[in-house]
Structure 1
Amino acid sequence: MKQKDFGERLNAARDAKQAMAAKFRQRPGPDDPAVAERRAARTAVSAARDARAAEREAQRLAENARIAAEREALAAEQAEQDKRAAAEKTENEIRLGAERKAARDARYAARKARK
């Protein structure tokens, strides 16, 4: 095995640094057409993603509004049914009270007629 001396190590380090710098300089700049094209493609993809997200949000809001309207209609229908049931219950109580009074009056009249 041959040991490298200090000068050879310095030259190797300098060559490595120059190679890294050359590699960095070869990268395209921000005004390069390929870079601009990639940037435009990323912008288009981002805009499409945002549009899809906005569409999903609009659909979600429309669905929530539809569900709220259905719940409101169901609640109104339930309230109407409750109101009708309360009215029927009141009518039945009044009718039963009148029937009981009529039966009581008939018993009273029969008792009076027996005397």
Structure 2
Amino acid sequence: MADNEVNIIHRSEVLDYEQKKIYMSVFGFNGVGKTTLINRYVKSEKFDVNEKFDSGVEDMYTKTIIFGEKSKIVVDLHDTGVGTINKNWDKSSCHVVCVVFDLTNEESFQYAFSFPKGTNKN
């Protein structure tokens, strides 16, 4: 595989339609705005420039999306905290991975570009 090719992970597991849950992990270098992005989505909060985040903490957020009167999807977002992949992260339980980077920070862009690629063997 060439360096500029993207390896797409296809999941053989079907989403759990009974629970209607989607699990998403957000990765990125320190300070790129992972938590801010999640808070904006989950809580519809604007960014507070005075707020300090603990980059060593892993957080879990949940948002319920309702379609019509009956159908709803629960999105669990996992903020990985630091800019490295936690050894306990289970990619087999994740449906979506979001890699966040800051265009003004070359190191964060390099992290995103070199984010581990692979295929899911499940």
TM-score by length of 1: 0.14
Look at both structures and tell me which one has the larger radius of gyration over its CA atoms.
Answer: 1
TM-score (norm 2): 0.14
Which structure features the higher share of strand residues?
2
- Bigger relative CO (Cα 8 Å, ≥ 6 apart): 2
